[in-house]
Amino acid sequence: MSETPRQQQGPRLREALRGIPAYKPGKPAQGADGGPAFKLSSNENPYPPLPGVLDAAVAAAGSFNRYPDMGTVALIAELAQRFGVPEAHIATGTGSVGVAQSLIQATAGPGDEVIYAWRSFEAYPIITQVNGATSVRVPLTDGDVHDLDAMLAAVTERTRLIFVCNPNNPTGTVVRRAELERFLDAVPADVLVVLDEAYREFVRDAEVPDGVELYRDRPNVCVLRTFSKAYGLAGLRVGFAVAHEPVATALRQTAVPFGVSQLAQDAAVVSLRSEDALLERVAALVAERDRVEAALAGQGWELPASQANFVWLRLGERTMDFAAACDAAGVVVRPFAGEGVRVTIGETEGNDLFLAVAERFRKEL
Ligand SMILES: *Cc1c(COP(=O)(O)O)cnc(C)c1O
């Protein structure tokens, strides 16, 4: 580099950015032979916005010549009431991925370590590396569950943050109360543990703890939630963290100013007030998840029990073939080459198309 005259060089970009894996969004759906197509690749909610939400968003759109409320005051007040936590313990962001990125900015830079299970949410390695911190990946158990003992053993002097994705994306598996509490009690108090609960609303296992209960007497625990999945606001980009004041304050310091649009804020407030309709839809998706799991088991598949709005088929070398067969049938799934396929629970018709491909595949195995 030093031999090229400065005038002939492009802008210097940080070394840390070299080799960052690209985030792979779920492919847009394209119907087979012009037929209907179902996008089961991004864990989105198949339902339209909850009652009143579209009206609130449309009304907010009328003033998008103005900046949004930077403090997201009304949304924070609504969330504080809903969860029974102080307003000072809540920080909002551009989706919970935006909040997670702020958490890393607030805790871990070059030389620092961020621990997470693998495979888990693909945003973790990206946001860790962007900030120059080092990823420490701890393999899931054979049952595709977080190996909390191994994660604890991976803690070093340099560890600054640990993600626990519960339920885990893409496997749908959970860690339960007793093991998680034991883990939290053993992690050094100066390491931030982030409980990423993007799929919390879909959990039916009573032994899976609510992170908002666990954080209360633990200053080093931060809970991440999102409006993107159960609430169906993925396109509006709004999520939030619940954490004690020093962490919540750090999140406000590192957040992109005015990152959460007024559309998103108003839509989120109305969504929180539509709880009956929300619970009804979530219940329908959970019932559909149970139906899909039972059908797969009936076909002879062995898959981890999912507590989220997707299922995980460990297809190994056949992953890409399976994804291509789904594509051809008009249903788009999310393959992880060489590992497996994650399939979102969507409209019944789309789920049935997926089940038909799975049945054909099973017979060929
Ligand atoms: C989808 C998802 C999120 C939420 O992303 P948003 O930025 O809120 O849309 C967070 N964590 C996990 C594990 C997810 O799967």
Ligand 1 centre to CA of 166 (Å) is: 11
pLDDT tens digits, 109-160: 999 999 999 999 999 999 999 999 999 999 999 999 999 999 999 999 999 9
pLDDT tens digits, 290-333: 999 999 999 999 999 999 999 999 999 999 999 999 999 999 99
Residue 7: band (very low, low, confident or very high) from pLDDT cuts 50, 70, 90: confident
43 C-beta closer than 6 A to ligand 1:
yes
Residue identifier of the C-alpha nearest atom 3 of ligand 1? 198
Question: What span, in angstroms and rounded, lies between the C-alpha atoms of 178 and 201?
Answer: 20
Residue-level pLDDT at 53:
96
**Greatest distance between any 2 Cα atoms in the chain:** 67
97 C-beta closer than 6 A to ligand 1:
yes
* Confidence (pTM): 0.95
pLDDT tens digits, 236-295: 999 999 999 999 999 999 999 999 999 999 999 999 999 999 999 999 999 999 999 999
- CA-nearest of 170, 177, 183 to 208 is 177
Across 153-181, average pLDDT: 98
Indicate the average pLDDT of the chain.
95
Whether residue 30 has pLDDT greater than 70: no
Mutate which of 140, 229, 233, 306 for ligand 1? The one with the most ligand atoms within 8 Å of its CB, which is 229
pLDDT tens digits, 212-245: 999 999 999 999 999 999 999 999 999 999 999 9
- Characterize the bridge pairing of strands 239-242 and 221-226: antiparallel
Ligand 1 centre to CA of 350 (Å) is: 22
The two structure tokens encoding residue 193: 């543990």
Whether residue 22 has pLDDT greater than 90: no
Ligand 1 centre to CA of 97 (Å) is: 6
Residue-level pLDDT at 35:
59
* Percent of the chain whose pLDDT exceeds 70: 96
Residue-level pLDDT at 364:
83
Strand order in the sheet with 334-336: 310-313, 340-344, 334-336
Ligand 1 centre to CA of 34 (Å) is: 31
309 C-beta closer than 6 A to ligand 1:
no
Contacts with 177 (C-beta within 8 Å, 6 or more apart), sequence order:
207, 208, 209
pLDDT tens digits, 94-104: 999 999 999 99
Q: Which atom of ligand 1 is nearest to the CA of 42?
A: 1
Q: Are 227 and 233 in contact (CB under 8 A)?
A: yes
262 C-beta closer than 6 A to ligand 1:
no
169 C-beta closer than 6 A to ligand 1:
yes
Residue-level pLDDT at 162:
98
Mutate which of 126, 140, 169, 174 for ligand 1? The one with the most ligand atoms within 8 Å of its CB, which is 169
pLDDT tens digits, 54-69: 999 999 999 999 999 9
Question: What span, in angstroms and rounded, lies between the C-alpha atoms of 233 and 9?
Answer: 43
Helix axes 348-364, 275-299, angle to 10 degrees: 20
Residue-level pLDDT at 229:
97
234 C-beta closer than 6 A to ligand 1:
yes
Ligand 1 centre to CA of 124 (Å) is: 10
